[in-house]
Homo-oligomer: A and B are copies of this chain.
Amino acid sequence: MEINRKSPTIFEVAQLAGVSRGTVDRVVYGRGRVSQETVNRVRDAIAKLGYSPNPNASSLASKKEYRFACLIPEFTAGDYWEEIYRGLARGQEEIVKYNIRLDVHLYNQIDPASFRECCDKVLEDKPSGVIMNAVFKDEVTDFAVRLEEARIPYSFLDNKLDELNYLMYYGVDPYKSGALGAFLLTTRCEVEEIALVRLVRDSLHKADPNAQRRHGFLDYIEENLPGCTVHTIFIEPDKPQKTREILESFFRERPGVKHIAMTNSRVWLIDEYLRNHPDPQRIVVGFDDLEKNLACLKSGDVEFLVTRHIPQQASRLLKEFTECVITGKVPSRRNNFVHMDILHRRNLDDYR
């Protein structure tokens, strides 16, 4: 058996269609200035030969440079968005052949004005495409409209606004991931009480990025464990001392609560408490494979992490987006929900 496809060249197509290579090129990329009749002949020849352009030769010859603007939130080391950034950088390596430049614009996740500023800058730049996530609903909608006017294609990464005309989306189904987390937390247990730890976010922050995931989580509990009470605890990300106090007082009052979940990406925030108050019966479930979260898994303080390969999600979007923008074709699938990984201490070793 032999696996060995190699495609015919543009020259063969030209010969079969009785035209020159330049004409075939025009047809393939729809550069216009070709008579309908010739187009048809060339199309036939392409179909007959099963021709597809050699991307190596193509990018070698092409001097065109593409610029993609990526708008993502600012991040610090170990952050969720750092992983996305890594994915973009890695994805870029795979498409250098297409002469792509990535301009990453970082905005302040809790300040819509900073997002608007980025948008203005991007629009001035006139990039070949835009990749972003959808934090501020109004601002993103507005930006999308302006992009469409400027005929610049854009795609959503990680989350999206369904009603917009984005080219494609890559991310998980947050609702389902929440439900999966709830399942892992409660399966095979008689659970009567659950502690759901949430983050106090700055009031400027309009969007609640984890709302859907949390709803998935809560709906699962309601449907499958009707008698179960969910206690919500709020902690402040920047105040470890206060966090400790809040957790200590909560669990002092309710020592029977053995099931803890955090539907945001920072379960590591409660790791200090968990380490200092060991309890073999306790089960903790978190989300997203940040380095710090993985450490909690490894130590055994967190039992399961629901995640997906964050950088991969970004690099796959970038790759597909590039092909669509360059060849002008529509994506094979518009909404790409990536697989959710279940991570446990026992299958952690070779992740990544």
Q: Footprint of B on A, CB under 8 Å?
A: 1-6, 54-57, 59-60, 88-89, 92-93, 96-97, 99, 101-106, 172-173, 176, 179-180, 183, 187-189, 306, 337-344, 346-347, 349-352
For A60, what are the chain B residues with a Cβ–Cβ distance below 8 Å?
Answer: 54, 56-57, 60
Q: Which of A56, A93, A180, A306 has the largest number of chain B CB atoms within 10 A?
A: A56
Q: Please, which residue of chain B has its CB at the minimum distance from the CB of A188?
A: B188
Pair B4/A102 contact, Cβ less than 8 Å:
yes
Q: From residue A349, how far is it (CB to closest CB) to chain B in Å?
A: 7
In the complex, the count of this chain's copies comes to 2
- Taking A55-B56, A60-B60, A339-B349 as given, write out 12 further A-B residue pairs in contact, using a Cβ cutoff of 8 Å, ordered by the A residue number: A3-B88, A3-B101, A3-B104, A4-B101, A57-B60, A172-B350, A176-B347, A339-B350, A339-B351, A340-B350, A341-B342, A342-B343
Q: How far is the CA of A101 from the CA of B183 in the complex (A)?
A: 46
Q: From residue A60, how far is it (CB to closest CB) to chain B in Å?
A: 5
Q: How far is the CA of A341 from the CA of B340 in the complex (A)?
A: 10
Pair A346/B56 contact, Cβ less than 8 Å:
no
For A189, what are the chain B residues with a Cβ–Cβ distance below 8 Å?
Answer: 188
Q: Known contacts being A56-B60, A59-B56, A187-B188, is A2 close to B103, with CB within 8 Å? A: yes
Q: How far is the CA of A102 from the CA of B5 in the complex (A)?
A: 10
Q: Please, which residue of chain B has its CB at the minimum distance from the CB of A186?
A: B188
Pair B180/A347 contact, Cβ less than 8 Å:
yes
Q: Known contacts being A104-B2, A347-B342, is A97 close to B188, with CB within 8 Å? A: no
For A172, what are the chain B residues with a Cβ–Cβ distance below 8 Å?
Answer: 350
For A103, what are the chain B residues with a Cβ–Cβ distance below 8 Å?
Answer: 1-2
For A2, what are the chain B residues with a Cβ–Cβ distance below 8 Å?
Answer: 101-104
Pair A342/B340 contact, Cβ less than 8 Å:
no
Q: From residue A314, how far is it (CB to closest CB) to chain B in Å?
A: 11
Q: From residue A4, how far is it (CB to closest CB) to chain B in Å?
A: 4
For A339, what are the chain B residues with a Cβ–Cβ distance below 8 Å?
Answer: 347, 349-352
Q: How far is the CA of A344 from the CA of B89 in the complex (A)?
A: 32
Pair A3/B92 contact, Cβ less than 8 Å:
yes
Q: From residue A105, how far is it (CB to closest CB) to chain B in Å?
A: 8
Pair B102/A3 contact, Cβ less than 8 Å:
yes
Q: Please, which residue of chain B has its CB at the minimum distance from the CB of A105?
A: B1
Pair B56/A1 contact, Cβ less than 8 Å:
no
Q: Please, which residue of chain B has its CB at the minimum distance from the CB of A56?
A: B56
Q: How far is the CA of A55 from the CA of B6 in the complex (A)?
A: 17
Q: From residue A186, how far is it (CB to closest CB) to chain B in Å?
A: 10
